Amino acid sequence: MILCSNPSEQFQSYQTEIEQAVYSVMRSNSYVLGEQVGLLEQEFAEYIGTSSAIGVANGTDAIEVALRSLNVGYGDEVITVSHTAVATVAAIEASGAKAILVDIDPKSYTLNPQYLEKVLTKNTKAVIAVHLYGNAVDLDTVLSFCRSNKLFLIEDVSQAHGAKYKNKRLGSIGDLGCFSCYPTKNLGAIGDAGIVTTNNLDLADRVRMIREYGWKNRTSMLPGRNSRLDEIQAAILRIKLKYLDSDNQKRRDIAKFYYENLSLLPILLPEISSNVEPVFHLFVIQVANQNKLINFLKKKGVMAGIHYPLPVHLHPAYKGRVMHSRDMRVTESVVKKIISLPIYPELSNIDSKLIVNALNEFFK
């Protein structure tokens, strides 16, 4: 069976190094916010191109802590998309702010900047640009909107570790970058982990304090919480960070194979702007018969996915409660057509060909 993603195979790729790193932590008697977290923060900041990187417990916390570091909270509004993981909206609400959801661009599946002005109010404090599927938001337009309206820009880079926009790493362009390192991500831990990046030293200090009870020298200087990245996950991420660029290139190679072998089928393939160097966290196609194709692929041993089958504003927990743009046509349309094909660095040439052959057979 070919899984949509397979983090256990990545563990096997780096098993010896990972096990040595884990054993080293276990023998160190330093398990929380120790040497490994400090080194990961330094190395990740250098990789992304920011002055600071701060480890937190997970990607959802990364967004919440980032918002709180900006003093965004009760009575404030944060604009983002409905076509995202629920975590993005859950983090906004955890900060106390209200999520305002807008429609997406039909080509990139990311935030459509033309809707920003339509939902702007006196309570708007920030925009969260979700870089979905390893692609990038149109950051020039969004950043211009934020600057002209004195809004903060947070990048949600949970699906785009290592991707670039105009030769800059995502997570280095907005006021803050937020990364999930969930096991299936391009840079994935073996468990939960998250990272916040910024070029603003004051914001970095606030994020560090908020992640641990608001402490500075063990005195709470502002309201905080517990969102610490543990040493074992940091050690694992340090190993995987060394290989992130080469693993991302393997994803691009698989994507290239898909493009070359699926272009004649009645499939809408991903479109990438010339400004973007993508990392293909997911390879998302559009088809007219979504469920039929997914079931066919499953019979062939290919486990395709849907990311995401239901927009956040239509989830029972948010329906009728979360605010959104009146026009969500693209979001509500694409979820009925999108399919995520398997793509991860360890996907073999044989399995890639099997997937392509299955798709050709279906449309024959």
34 burial level (CB within 10 Å; 0-12, 13-18, 19+): middle
Each as own residue / partner, the long-range contacts of residues 15-18 (CB below 8 Å, 24 or more positions apart, any chain) are: 17/239, 18/190, 18/236, 18/239
Q: Which amino acid is at 95?
A: S
Q: How, if at all, do strands 168-169 and 164-165 pair?
A: antiparallel
Does the model's pTM come out above 0.95? Answer: yes
- Alpha carbon distance 326, 342 (integer Å): 34
pLDDT at 322 (0 to 100): 87
Q: Check if the beta carbon of residue 109 is closer than 8 Å to that of residue 135.
A: yes
3-state secondary structure of 202: helix
335 contact partners, CB below 8 Å, separation of at least 6: 83, 306, 308, 309, 310, 311
Q: Which amino acid is at 35?
A: E
pLDDT at 27 (0 to 100): 96
Which pair of structure tokens corresponds to residue 43? 């190395």
Domain boundaries of the chain, sorted by first residue: 7-242, 244-362
- Alpha carbon distance 151, 119 (integer Å): 13
Short-list 133, 190, 188, 184, CA closest to 156? 133
Q: Check if the beta carbon of residue 124 is closer than 8 Å to that of residue 105.
A: no
Q: Between 244-262 and 231-242, two packed helices, what is the crossing angle to 10 degrees? A: 60
Pick the CATH number of 7-242 from 3.10.350.10, 3.40.50.920, 3.40.640.10, 3.30.1330.10: 3.40.640.10
| CA dihedral of 130, 95, 67, 120, whole degrees rounded to 10 | 70
Cα angle 71, 209, 123 (rounded to 5 degrees) comes to 10
* End-to-end CA gap in the chain: 23
Within 10 angstroms of residue 71's Cβ, the number of other Cβ atoms is 12
- Alpha carbon distance 334, 317 (integer Å): 21
244-362 maps to CATH 3.40.50.720:
no
3-state secondary structure of 301: coil
pLDDT at 323 (0 to 100): 84
256 contact partners, CB below 8 Å, separation of at least 6: none
Q: Which amino acid is at 164?
A: K
pLDDT at 326 (0 to 100): 83
- Alpha carbon distance 79, 120 (integer Å): 8
- Alpha carbon distance 139, 151 (integer Å): 14
Q: In tens digits, what is the pLDDT along the chain, a chain of 364 residues? A: 999 999 999 999 999 999 999 999 999 999 999 999 999 999 999 999 999 999 999 999 999 999 999 999 999 999 999 999 999 999 999 999 999 999 999 999 999 999 999 999 999 999 999 999 999 999 999 999 999 999 999 999 999 999 999 999 999 999 999 999 999 999 999 999 999 999 999 999 999 999 999 999 999 999 999 999 999 999 999 999 999 999 999 999 999 999 999 999 999 999 999 999 999 999 999 999 999 999 999 999 999 999 999 999 999 999 888 888 889 999 999 999 999 999 999 999 999 999 999 999 999 8
Q: How, if at all, do strands 164-165 and 276-277 pair?
A: antiparallel
Short-list 119, 127, 137, 228, CA closest to 175? 127
Place of tokens 């390879």: 283
Q: Check if the beta carbon of residue 205 is closer than 8 Å to that of residue 214.
A: no
